[in-house]
């Protein structure tokens, strides 16, 4: 049996207090953040460089290296989210798309699922940033981007997962 009480509903997330019975039969009161999910893109250009954004993130207290990514709009298919975000953030579109699976970003309290994609055969388009986005686009050689991931220079979880999952296609 599950009951839920809405504690907060914002533009992007909702927070519920959820009362449920766990598989071991115990009762639990959980604080669950509901998020529509998103898509993250590993974009590779014709010079074997990965498109990264150096983005200001208020929640992290500064600038952070990330793969392009974004939130799904109103039950939007994840691939359409990826295509939209690639154009918005990097100013390119891709002819070839490879699904790389998905991740649960923080399954202890968050419903967010992030779908991962590899995008290749890129063509320039017009970058269309949202008003709340402050970022720089950088094209980094694959080996260097992987070094950044291993060293901690890239610390964003969805970006690390995307790079990890794309490795098999990048050699």
Under-70 pLDDT residues of the chain: 1, 171
Q: What pLDDT is recorded for position 66?
A: 98
Q: What pLDDT is recorded for position 103?
A: 99
CA–CA gap between residue 119 and residue 107 (Å, rounded)? 27
Give the residue numbers spanning the domain of 17. Answer: 3-34
Q: What pLDDT is recorded for position 83?
A: 98
CATH number of the CATH domain containing 153: 3.90.79.10
CA–CA gap between residue 105 and residue 64 (Å, rounded)? 17
Total number of domains in the chain: 2
Half-sphere exposure of 84 (CA within 13 A, CB side): 13
pTM: 0.94
**Whether residues 84 and 17 fall in one domain:** no
For residue 132 the two structure tokens come to 């709340």
CA–CA gap between residue 143 and residue 155 (Å, rounded)? 17
CA 41 from centroid of its chain's CA atoms = 8
**Whether residues 28 and 45 fall in one domain:** no
63-101 pLDDT, tens digit each: 999 999 999 998 999 999 999 999 999 999 999 999 999
Q: What pLDDT is recorded for position 1?
A: 55
Q: What pLDDT is recorded for position 72?
A: 97
Neighbours of 123 (CB within 10 A): 8
* 3-state secondary structure at position 24: coil
**Whether residues 26 and 92 fall in one domain:** no
């Amino acid at each position: 049996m599950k009951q839920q009480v809405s504690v907060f509903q914002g533009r992007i997330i909702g927070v519920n207090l959820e009362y449920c019975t766990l598989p071991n039969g115990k009762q639990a009161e959980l604080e669950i953040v509901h998020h529509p999910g998103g898509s993250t893109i590993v974009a590779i250009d014709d010079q074997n460089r990965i498109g990264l954004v150096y983005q200001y993130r208020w929640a992290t207290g500064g600038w952070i290296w990330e793969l392009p990514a974004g939130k799904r709009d109103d039950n939007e298919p994840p691939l359409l989210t990826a295509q939209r975000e690639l154009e918005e953030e990097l100013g390119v579109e891709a002819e070839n798309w490879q699904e790389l699976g998905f991740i649960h970003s923080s399954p202890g309290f968050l419903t967010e699922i992030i779908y991962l994609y590899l995008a290749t055969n890129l063509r320039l388009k017009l970058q269309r940033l949202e008003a709340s986005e402050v970022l720089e686009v950088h094209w980094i050689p694959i080996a260097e981007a992987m070094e950044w991931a291993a060293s901690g220079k890239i610390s964003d979880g969805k970006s690390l997962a995307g790079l990890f999952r794309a490795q098999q296609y990048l050699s």
